[in-house]
A = this chain, B = another copy of it.
């Protein structure tokens, strides 16, 4: 039981939508994004407003793709990295949608999908949405230093994805892709204090969640044709593989981290890879979901990874707790 959500119904992912910034549009997933803006401002005056606007764009785009209106959505789960989660709340202040604010740092997207699925499976909603966002510029000035300082970045640092992802879920058989079960993780804290090495803080949480999920569900790693963590980056991905190997699990070539997918590490100067709520949200909503609709992937795990620190607590000398939330997404092909 503890954290494991087994859905009695197939919770279909009706549609997804993604919004991306300039760096993301120049990366390997360029062709998959619905909306992008090379100014990263999306018509707004500040980075923070731009981030909130991306959530509105992603949500309204997913509704448009599904030929629905906000009135058709029973509840929306949204959150982001900005203080007081204002990306979601200011975006949904303009929508007649019942709203649950969630906080899982960069694990927010799978957390939102898991909660939306639980509401649908529990009979509390027919249609629910999960939306999240992150913005490189709002994240840098909030978590590290304003961009104008031109701070040198360390090799283990990651690049916050500018983007937003939205998924619309329904009990109606409206798509081949559905959420089968999910696992909401425990918080782990291994004493990492370097905000430029969040992969190291989050990898143990990812390992704990994957192993706990397999124990709870009875599934085996070998069943999946894709396993994706959210934003461990190259450093955290390597640590996760080591931790899993020490526990007797082999993560082979079917495993990758969204933070290593969304940018081209050789051509784009992102150091250890991508981070941010939008790392898993955009990679799933733009890319993985499309591969699943095309039958190129049929049985995947998406494990959102969140570093739960605040800049203030780091200045007060505290370490970085982390959490990982997992969703298991299938196509009808997977169970034939």
Contacts and interface: CB of A to CB of B under 8 A. Distances in A.
Interface of A: 1-3, 5-6, 8, 45-46, 48-49, 74-75, 79, 81-86, 89-90, 92-105, 111, 115, 118-119, 121-126, 184-189, 308-313, 316, 318, 321, 323
A141 B9 CA distance: 47
Contacts of A309: 84, 86
- Name the residue among A74, A98, A121 with the largest chain B CB count within 10 angstroms: A98
A119 to B, nearest CB: 7
16 contacts: A45-B316, A46-B316, A49-B313, A49-B316, A81-B84, A82-B312, A83-B311, A84-B103, A89-B308, A90-B321, A93-B189, A93-B321, A99-B185, A100-B102, A101-B102, A101-B111
A184 B98 contact: yes
A86 to B, nearest CB: 5
B186 A98 contact: yes
Nearest to A184: B98
B185 A74 contact: no
Most buried by B among A3, A185, A188: A3
A290 B279 CA distance: 46
B74 A2 contact: yes
A104 B82 CA distance: 14
A90 B90 CA distance: 26
Contacts of A308: 84-86, 89-90, 93, 101
B1 A126 contact: yes
A98 B185 contact: yes
Q: Most B CB atoms within 10 A — which of A2, A74, A75, A105?
A: A2
Nearest to A316: B46
B74 A1 contact: yes
Of A8, A49, A79, A186, chain B has the most CB atoms within 10 Å of the CB of: A186
A84 B83 contact: yes
A286 to B, nearest CB: 25
